Amino acid sequence: MSTLLEMRGISKAFAGVKALEDINFTVRQGEIHAVVGENGAGKSTLVKVLSGVYPHGSYDGSIVYDGRERHFRDINDSEALGIIIIHQELALIPLLSIAENIFIANPPSRFGMIDRDAVYKRSQQLLAKVGLNEAPDTLVTNIGVGKQQLVEIAKALSKEVRLLILDEPTASLNESDSAALLDLLVEFRSQGMSAILISHKLNEVARVADRITVLRDGRTVDTMDCQASTIEEDRIIRKMVDRDLEHRFPKREPTIGEPVFKVENWSVYHPLHAGRQVIKNVDFQVRRGEIVGIAGLMGAGRTEFAMSLFGRSWGRRITGRALLHGREVDLSTVSRAIDAGLAYVTEDRKQLGLLLADDVRKNITLANLGSVSSGHVIDDIKEMRVASDYRNRMRIRCSDVYQASGNLSGGNQQKVVLSKWLFTDPEILILDEPTRGIDIGAKYEIYCIINELADAGKAVIMISSEMPELLGICDRICVMNEGAFVGEFDRSEATQEKIMRVIVRKGERLVDRDLQRSSAEELSGGALR
């Protein structure tokens, strides 16, 4: 198998701090080469050097591609040779169509004008190639995240890609969508395409990669050949973190008390489609010191349920009762939800959880400014002390509390978001995908923090698309499908198979029930007419 790419002695520094040091890395023709490592290991920096985001001259070392040394001045130079990168944050414009997004940079033209017929036809061909059954004129905002990821790949294929770089492509996807995307990657490999896969999901990496390179502290520590032998996840973890993790999830002996928070007959309608009921008469409770997981496929309504509880941040025509310690509470606004004792850690920390341009100090105190103010004026000394205290307690790795939050690794950003809500001293903590996009070492630290919160008597509600995570950390798992809870398992009896079986069976029943209800309404309407 011939070598398509060779990066020799790559070193890159920022303000005197080495991000990469003497990296040697190769990709063969028609292979999937995975790159893994903790946040801050240098993975993103490496592919930015390769793609020209960091131009030639800003780093040491050389890049040999297709047998010739290359000097990429920008990303256009690398794309011209078929090196295409798909970032974790999707670069799509929501209010443009799928076809417009695919060809936004290089639309087919005729007589100096965009050939819309060619755009539509070519988009159809690309969507068929990636297995996406959507019309090219569908707005991107109207399709789910999994389908948007496929649009990004179709966009890459429109540029005649030879080396596809995917940065955390499945971070926002559920298990079925992730599997479909990985199958597509394997199919591309069979057609001769090469790929660099960056992922924290080690089971996925081990499944599809031909070779795995581990980075740690900006250096290459190992390259494993998956064709020569089976690569165990524990071996990858040891190389990543430079230590053994005896358990992927910290042990805990829960002490669960009385019910703290109850929801009765909770219903929510879609904010744009007035007749579409998204959350359907839900009853739910969580007890003191308990970690309750919410499992479900993408679109099951988990995030919508959580956001509707937290100050009605999502949805319309919200009805039902919420009770704290047996007394009904007002959750009609975010400030009232906070005052009632709720906190919500969003699944999208960069867009909704943090002010990336602001420093760690301001982000930590943002949700409870009254506690660091005197006479409606923020006390800078008090704010700095609070932020420094949480920095130490949560083990946030930053130069100081005045460092911009946008410059932190994903795991440390997540700790800042958690600190912000812990500073409000909540009784009910809702965690929506709390470990999304962070490495195995940082995940373990987050799990320890969650356990400590439960041990301190907090009631924790945890939403996650990673089934092993729910099984490893939660005391009880509630299964959601089509906006309703369709099953519940204690930790001792829960398995992935049981949870998926409930989703499939109950999903079929819900569809049958909706069809029956629709038929009954039609008959009733006909009789009235």
pLDDT tens track for 166-203:
888 877 666 777 788 888 889 889 989 999 999 878 88
Query: How high is the mean pLDDT of the chain?
Result: 86
Q: Do both 316 and 361 map to the same domain?
A: no
Q: Are residues 171 and 84 in the same domain?
A: yes
Residue 378: strand, helix, or coil: strand
Domain assignment of residue 191, yes or no: yes
**Exposed, middle or buried by CB within 10 Å (0-12, 13-18, 19+), for 145?**
middle
How many domains, the chain? 3
Between CA 191 and CA 123 the distance in angstroms is 20
| In-domain check, residue 441 | yes
Lowest mean pLDDT among 63-77, 95-109, 167-181: 167-181
- Among residues 379, 403, 425, which one ends one of the domains? 425
Q: Locate tokens 């089976």: which residue?
A: 230
Structure confidence at residue 250 as a pLDDT band (50, 70, 90): confident
Instruction: Evaluate if residue 244 carries a pLDDT over 70.
Output: no
More confident residue, 382 or 91: 382
- How many whole angstroms separate alpha carbon 474 and alpha carbon 287? 12
Q: Please choose, from the candidates 400, 415, 324, 334, the residue with its C-alpha nearest in 3D space to the C-alpha of residue 367.
A: 334
pTM: 0.65
Q: What SS3 class is residue 373?
A: strand
Lowest mean per-residue pLDDT among 281-295, 384-398, 404-418, 505-519: 505-519
Rounded to an integer, the average pLDDT of 207-211 is 91
Q: Is residue 20 part of a domain?
A: yes
Range of the domain at 149: 3-241
CA distances from 277 to 52, 67, 486 (A): 47, 58, 16
Considering the domain architecture, whether residues 14 and 135 belong to the same structural domain is answered as yes
Q: Are residues 455 and 306 in the same domain?
A: yes
pLDDT at residue 74, rounded to an integer:
92
Question: In terms of domains, do 421 and 458 share one?
Answer: no
418-424: average pLDDT: 92
The H-assigned helical ranges of 395-489 are 410-422, 440-455, 467-473
Clarify whether residues 68 and 174 are in a common domain: yes
Q: Are residues 138 and 267 in the same domain?
A: no
Q: Are residues 165 and 19 in the same domain?
A: yes
pLDDT at 496: 81
Region at 146 (left for phi over 0; alpha for psi -120 to 50; beta for the rest): alpha
Whether residue 17 is found in the same domain as residue 101? yes
Question: 19 near 53, Cβ under 8 Å?
Answer: no
Domain contains 331 = yes
Domain assignment present for 320 = yes
Lowest mean pLDDT among 253-262, 466-475, 499-508: 499-508
More confident residue, 245 or 356: 356
Report pLDDT for 431: 94
